Amino acid sequence: MRESSAGDLLIFRCEMPRLGEPSGREILNKVKGSVANGLSDIIVDEYEKLLVARLIDENYGYLASRDRDFLKKKVFLKLNGQDGARVRKSQGPYQRNQRKSRVWAKLAEYLEGEDEIVLEGFITFRLKEYLEELFNVVDETVEEHLVEREYREFLKLLRHFMDRQKSPASTINIVRQSGGSYQVLDDDFSPIKGEVGTFLKGSPEGLGLDIDDLVVSAVVTLAPEKVVWHGPKDDSPCFDLLKDLFEERFAICPGCSLEK
């Protein structure tokens, strides 16, 4: 084995004595198999970080460097099943081994007919499906990040609006019944009255608000100090938004006579 440099390339050359003999050819095939195994480990375990960073910097350069650094870490965790999702945690090592197996197969196929390989060129021209898979994960992560950022800005805007209310309500009780209907009650458990109460009975024509939008709009207008949720919370956009909006000022009733 000889090591040399050619510009930016580091070259390892393996020389086999008596290559024309059957034993020499058999040894060469074993060496190529080991090279394929080693390079597949290097590409997925080491080079993948650089590939992800390059994909993000080249395709999403319009994002701030802080956002790009965050995305690089997020994508790497996702590729390794460590992004906090229960399904990904169980599938992460399996998916990683799948990627490594596909890379190894491409390497082994290439080395069957070639005695030389340039790693950079091989990745660029022979691993297009692998690169596409990485880009899909990057693109998915970027989209999630932008949606989350937009959502955080939306919450910030709603909080700013509520802070400007002159006389915020003390406590608002939201009762969600099993049929999906809502009641918005004050701290005395009486239905909200006034303009907000009228608004809750039906949004003005042309706004196109559904029931969840109506409830959120009413609560934001009332700007209460605390929100108490009664009843089922599954599959309720209203619950998710208000919980994120009020944070520690959002409480869930453990069960009372209001729930039906």
Instruction: Answer yes or no: is pLDDT of 113 > 70.
Output: yes
Per-chain mean pLDDT for the chain: 87
* pLDDT for the residue 87: 42
Sign of CA dihedral 231, 234, 236, 242: positive
Q: Percent helix, strand and coil across the chain, each rounded to 5?
A: 60, 10, 30
| DSSP single-letter state for residue 44 | I
Instruction: Answer yes or no: is pLDDT of 206 > 80.
Output: no
Q: What confidence category does residue 84 fall into, taking pLDDT thresholds of 50, 70 and 90? A: low
The burial class, CB within 10 Å (0-12 / 13-18 / 19+), for 48 is: buried
- Which pair of structure tokens corresponds to residue 107? 């390497």
Q: What is the mean pLDDT of residues 203-208?
A: 56
- Which pair of structure tokens corresponds to residue 46? 């080491």
Q: What is the mean pLDDT of residues 3-12?
A: 86
* pLDDT for the residue 88: 47
| DSSP single-letter state for residue 46 | I
Torsion of CA 234, 236, 239, 240, to 10 degrees: 90
- Which pair of structure tokens corresponds to residue 162? 């509520």
Each residue of 63-73: b (16+ CB within 10 Å) or e? Answer: beeebbeebbe
Give SS3 for 3: strand
- Give strand pairing partners of 191: 185
What confidence tens digit (pLDDT) does each residue in 90-106 have? Answer: 456 678 889 999 999 99
User: Residues 105, 37: contact at Cβ < 8 Å?
Assistant: no
Q: Please tell me the pTM assigned to this model.
A: 0.76
Euclidean distance between CA atoms 48 and 241, whole angstroms: 37
Residue type (1 letter), 69: D
Q: What confidence category does residue 40 fall into, taking pLDDT thresholds of 50, 70 and 90? A: very high
* pLDDT for the residue 210: 82
CA distances for 164 relative to 11, 171, 229, 232, 243, angstroms = 67, 17, 24, 31, 20
